[in-house]
Structure 1
Amino acid sequence: MTEWDRTTPLEKISQRELDAVLKRHELYRQAKMGGARAVLSFFDLSGLDLSGRDLTSADLSGAVLAGANLRGVTLDYASVYGCNFSKANLQNARFLKTDMRGVYLGGADLTGATLEGADMRPGKIAERDLGGDLQVLSPQGRASEMQYADFTGANLTNAKISGGMAAHTKFAGAVMRGCELARANLEGADFTGANLEGADLSWANLHNATLKNAILSGAAIEMAELSNADLEGALTDAPVGPTLDDLDADFETLLDRHATWIATAGAKGRQLDVSGYDLRGLEASLVKANLTAMLGARLTLCNVDLSGAQIQAAKLDGADLRGCRMTGSDLRGTDLSGARLDHVDLTGGQLRSLSLGAGGRMPTRLAGARLCYARLRDADLRDVDLREADLTAADLKGADLRGAGVDGAVFERAILEGVKLDDAVRKVLGERAGR
Structure 2
Amino acid sequence: MVAKPVKPTERIRVNQREAELMAAAHAWFVARKPGGRRLVLRFAIMEDVDLSGRDLSDADLTGSTLIRCKFDRARLVRACLFGADLQASSFVGASLANADMRGARLKGANLAHANMTQADLRAGRIAISDEDTQFAVLRHKVSAGQMDGANVSGAVLHQTRLDDVSAAAADFSDCSMRGAKLVGANLKNARLRGAVIDNVDVRGANLESADFSDAVLTRVDLTQARTMGAVMDRCLCDPDAEASARAAQIFVKLAAHREWVTSGGKSGEAAVLDGEDLRPMVEMAGAFLTAVSARNACLAGMDLRRISLQGALLEGADFRGADLRDADLRGANLNGATLKQADLRRAQLSALPFKADREKPTELTEACLRYADLREVGFGETDLSRADLEGARRTELQDGPDSAGPDPKVLEL
TM more than 0.5: yes
| Residue-by-residue CA offset, 1:203-232 (whole Å, 9 max, x unaligned) | 221222110111111012123222222111
- C-alpha spacing 1:351/1:96, structure 2 compared with 1 (3 Å): same
Instruction: Measure how far apart 1:394 and its partner are.
Output: 1.9
What residue number does 1:111 align with? 112
What residue number does 1:431 align with? none
- Superposition TM-score, scaled by structure 1 size: 0.83
CA distance in 1, matches of 2:300, 2:39: 41
Contact 2:173–2:195 (Cα < 8 Å) also in 1: yes
What residue number does 1:133 align with? 137
What residue number does 2:411 align with? 415
Instruction: Measure how far apart 1:95 and its partner are.
Output: 1.4
> Aligned ranges for residues 185-204 of structure 1 at < 5 Å?
185-204=186-205
Q: Does 1:22 align with 2:37?
A: no
| Residue-by-residue CA offset, 1:91-146 (whole Å, 9 max, x unaligned) | 1111111211111111111111011011111223114565453233589xx9x711
Instruction: Measure how far apart 1:180 and its partner are.
Output: 0.9
- The letter for the 2-side match of 1:349 is A
- The letter for the 1-side match of 2:35 is G
What residue number does 1:231 align with? 232
- C-alpha spacing 1:229/1:6, structure 2 compared with 1 (3 Å): farther
What residue number does 1:257 align with? 256
What residue number does 1:168 align with? 169
Q: Tell me, what secondary structure is at the counterpart of 1:27? A: helix
Contact 1:190–1:209 (Cα < 8 Å) also in 2: yes
Instruction: Measure how far apart 1:242 and its partner are.
Output: 4.6
CA distance in 2, matches of 1:29, 1:391: 32
CA distance in 1, matches of 2:71, 2:408: 21
- C-alpha spacing 1:383/1:28, structure 2 compared with 1 (3 Å): closer
What residue number does 2:268 align with? 269
- The letter for the 1-side match of 2:262 is A
What residue number does 2:80 align with? 79
- The letter for the 2-side match of 1:355 is P
**Bigger mean CA deviation after superposition, 99-108 or 354-363:** 354-363
Instruction: Measure how far apart 1:306 and its partner are.
Output: 2.3
> Aligned ranges for residues 319-358 of structure 1 at < 5 Å?
319-357=317-355
Instruction: Measure how far apart 1:184 and its partner are.
Output: 1.1
- C-alpha spacing 1:128/1:299, structure 2 compared with 1 (3 Å): same
**Bigger mean CA deviation after superposition, 389-398 or 220-229:** 389-398
- The letter for the 1-side match of 2:409 is R
| Residue-by-residue CA offset, 1:162-194 (whole Å, 9 max, x unaligned) | 111000100011011111112211111110111
- The letter for the 1-side match of 2:95 is R
Instruction: Measure how far apart 1:199 and its partner are.
Output: 0.9
Instruction: Measure how far apart 1:352 and its partner are.
Output: 2.7
Instruction: Measure how far apart 1:29 and its partner are.
Output: 2.2
Q: Tell me, what secondary structure is at the counterpart of 1:216? A: strand
Which one of the candidate residues 276, 293, 296 is aligned to 1:295?
293
Q: Tell me, what secondary structure is at the counterpart of 1:324? A: coil
CA distance in 1, matches of 2:156, 2:93: 10
What residue number does 2:364 align with? 366
Instruction: Measure how far apart 1:383 and its partner are.
Output: 5.2
CA distance in 2, matches of 1:381, 1:182: 41
What residue number does 1:148 align with? 149
CA distance in 2, matches of 1:206, 1:283: 30
Instruction: Measure how far apart 1:285 and its partner are.
Output: 4.5
CA distance in 2, matches of 1:103, 1:387: 41
Instruction: Measure how far apart 1:243 and its partner are.
Output: 2.0
Instruction: Measure how far apart 1:17 and its partner are.
Output: 2.4
Instruction: Measure how far apart 1:39 and its partner are.
Output: 1.2
Count of residues in correspondence between the two structures: 395
| Residue-by-residue CA offset, 1:339-389 (whole Å, 9 max, x unaligned) | 110012223332233334375443322222211112223434355455643
Contact 1:373–1:391 (Cα < 8 Å) also in 2: yes
Contact 2:284–2:307 (Cα < 8 Å) also in 1: no
Q: Tell me, what secondary structure is at the counterpart of 2:18? A: helix
- The letter for the 2-side match of 1:108 is A
- Percent of aligned positions that are identical: 32
What residue number does 2:243 align with? 243
What residue number does 2:403 align with? none
Instruction: Measure how far apart 1:71 and its partner are.
Output: 1.0
CA distance in 1, matches of 2:381, 2:340: 21
- C-alpha spacing 1:248/1:273, structure 2 compared with 1 (3 Å): farther
CA distance in 2, matches of 1:135, 1:48: 31
- The letter for the 2-side match of 1:53 is R
CA distance in 2, matches of 1:102, 1:176: 20
Contact 1:395–1:414 (Cα < 8 Å) also in 2: no
Q: Tell me, what secondary structure is at the counterpart of 1:258? A: helix
- The letter for the 1-side match of 2:272 is D
- C-alpha spacing 1:389/1:22, structure 2 compared with 1 (3 Å): closer
- C-alpha spacing 1:374/1:124, structure 2 compared with 1 (3 Å): same
Relative contact order higher in (CA < 8 Å, ≥ 6 apart): 2
What residue number does 1:429 align with? none
RMSD: 2.7
Q: Tell me, what secondary structure is at the counterpart of 1:13? A: coil
CA distance in 2, matches of 1:123, 1:200: 20
What residue number does 2:404 align with? none
Contact 2:96–2:115 (Cα < 8 Å) also in 1: yes
CA distance in 2, matches of 1:39, 1:383: 47
Instruction: Measure how far apart 1:260 and its partner are.
Output: 1.6
Name segments (4+ residues, structure 1) moved above 6 Å.
Answer: none
Query: Where does structure 1 lack aligned partners over 5 or more consecutive residues?
Result: 399-410, 420-435
Instruction: Measure how far apart 1:234 and its partner are.
Output: 0.7
**Bigger mean CA deviation after superposition, 196-205 or 270-279:** 270-279
